[in-house]
Amino acid sequence: MEKEIRIPGIPSEKQRQFFASRARFTAYGGARGGGKSWALRRKLVAMCLRYDGIRCLLVRRTLPELKSNHVIPFLREYGSFISYHEADRCLSFKNKSKIYLGYCAADKDALRYQGQEYDVIAIDEATQLSEYRFQIFKACLRGVGEFPRRMYLTCNPGGIGHSYVKRLFVDRDFRANENPDDYAFIPALVFDNKTLCMSDPDYIRSLETLPERLRDAWLYGRWDVFEGQFFPEFDSAVHVCKSSAVPNKIRYFAALDYGFDMLAALLLGIDSDGIIYVLKEYLSPGLTLSEAAEQVALLCRGYEVEYAVASPDLWNRRQDTGRSGFEIMQAVRGMPPLICADDRRIAGWRVLREYLASKNSPPKLKICCNCGELIHSLPALLCDSIRPEDAASEPHAITHAPEALRYAVMSRISPPELEEGFIHGFTFLSSKPRRSYDL
């Protein structure tokens, strides 16, 4: 008879909830110091002891993080009954269960896992991995044995994966192919980790002294504010309104960011005080230029839309047809007159930031509550790691609607060479676009 193996340590109440979850995808965390890594290791060890021959994968962003945060603690905590093989980065149990240790610092690293099969996958600090990498690992969650198929994620607000983790586990905003029953979230704060609070009370005090955004995210687990957020000014309580709040007398215009990977189109209105309202949105991938124009025309139907502002690359002629995207889209019946956007990125984001500003007066931008993608994307934008004044291009999926909005606000300003009423070098206009082109 084999000797009984007892796993050391007493879990907190939140850790018990994490251990008890039977959802296909379980996320645990939300703040620093909640005991996430310890719980993740304990859960994997328990699964390996319970099921003979089960295959598990533990992923961290980089190899050094993997070794310092897990390999050493694994051997310290469970070295009496597991062995580690450095060559294949594998923890082995006597019952032939295994925990493979992997890293995924970039999207290209995820390709190494394509075609592999695991019964249980654990992603530590999942918000540091992009949604693309998450999807690759989801595809690896399969096998032929009589084992449970589960994925466990630990997470904190912020990072390249903030948007999809928040959507799935915090907001529970599911797409057509996602089953809500598959997803569970166990929030945990440092206050839930009684052991840490007793052994290191200064840790909480150190979190309390952090800058406001970091403190709210790391201490209180707030998912609407985090370090690296490009638009901390955005507040859904301030910037989101009901359609009934839109004035009757407004002038309509549209903005679009077109690519074959995604069309993002916005219908907007501006009132006599220069306040812009985002009234409707349309986003769809895989549309040709003419199909995109038809959808923009449909979005604008029933409104007297004065113009639609679009990226300058639409004015480039296509080598295959000799026609520009502008010509193709403008020829579609119902398409508003197209004008070329001022696509300067940093200048555009500065202007948009001015529209969002609400400390000393009401904001100049309101978004109707039916524009869910824009409301989701704006606060999820990250600062570019090289140029902090620019928004990051990743996660790419959340950039399309904000790009269209940037074109929209830039169409409402006068050229920077004018010298009156500058706000970061621009004069705001209430009645006409910044520039137009002969059609």
Checking if the pLDDT of 196 tops 70, the result is no
Answer yes or no: do 290 and 400 share one domain: yes
Answer yes or no: do 87 and 205 share one domain: yes
For residue 226, tell me if it sits in a domain.
no
CATH of the domain at 179: 3.40.50.300
Q: What's the mean pLDDT when you consider all of the chain?
A: 87
pTM for this prediction = 0.75
Query: Total domain count for the chain?
Result: 2
For residue 42, tell me if it sits in a domain.
yes
Between 2 and 234, the more confident residue is 234
Answer yes or no: do 266 and 394 share one domain: yes
For residue 228, tell me if it sits in a domain.
no
Helix runs in 114-211, H state only: 131-139, 162-165, 194-199, 201-208
Name the band, by pLDDT with cuts 50, 70 and 90, for residue 3.
Answer: low
| Boundary residue ending a domain (218, 248, 271) | 218
For residue 289, tell me if it sits in a domain.
yes
For residue 223, tell me if it sits in a domain.
no
Q: What is the pLDDT of residues 426-438, one digit of tens each?
A: 444 444 444 433 3
Answer yes or no: do 38 and 176 share one domain: yes
Answer yes or no: do 205 and 312 share one domain: no
For residue 313, tell me if it sits in a domain.
yes
Between 228 and 52, the more confident residue is 52
Answer yes or no: do 175 and 116 share one domain: yes
What residue numbers bound the domain in which 198 lies? 13-218
Answer yes or no: do 394 and 248 share one domain: yes
Looking at residue 88, its pLDDT comes to 87
Looking at residue 426, its pLDDT comes to 43
Looking at residue 271, its pLDDT comes to 95
Looking at residue 199, its pLDDT comes to 66
Name the band, by pLDDT with cuts 50, 70 and 90, for residue 346.
Answer: very high
Q: What is the pLDDT of residues 246-273, one digit of tens each?
A: 999 999 999 999 999 999 999 999 999 9
Calculate mean pLDDT across residues 73-78. 90
Q: What is the pLDDT of residues 25-72, one digit of tens each?
A: 999 987 666 688 899 999 999 999 999 999 999 999 998 998 888 999
| Boundary residue ending a domain (170, 189, 218) | 218
- Which helix (H) or strand (E) covers residue 72, if one does? helix 72-78
The secondary structure of 189-234 as a DSSP string is -GGG-HHHHHH-HHHHHHHHTS-HHHHHHHTT--SS--TTBS-TT-
Q: Tell me what percent of the residues of the chain surpass a pLDDT of 70.
A: 87
Burial 280-311 (b: 16+ CB within 10 A, else e): bbbbeeebebeebbbbbbebbeebebbbbbbb
Looking at residue 157, its pLDDT comes to 86
CATH of the domain at 309: 3.30.420.280
Name the band, by pLDDT with cuts 50, 70 and 90, for residue 158.
Answer: confident
Of 20-34, 108-122, 296-310, which one has max mean pLDDT? Answer: 296-310
- Which helix (H) or strand (E) covers residue 250, if one does? none
Answer yes or no: do 139 and 240 share one domain: no
| Boundary residue ending a domain (166, 184, 218) | 218
Checking if the pLDDT of 92 tops 90, the result is yes
Answer yes or no: do 194 and 261 share one domain: no
For residue 176, tell me if it sits in a domain.
yes
For residue 6, tell me if it sits in a domain.
no
Answer yes or no: do 246 and 333 share one domain: yes
Answer yes or no: do 193 and 288 share one domain: no
Answer yes or no: do 79 and 174 share one domain: yes
Whether 69 and 102 have beta carbons less than 8 Å apart is answered as no
Name the band, by pLDDT with cuts 50, 70 and 90, for residue 324.
Answer: very high
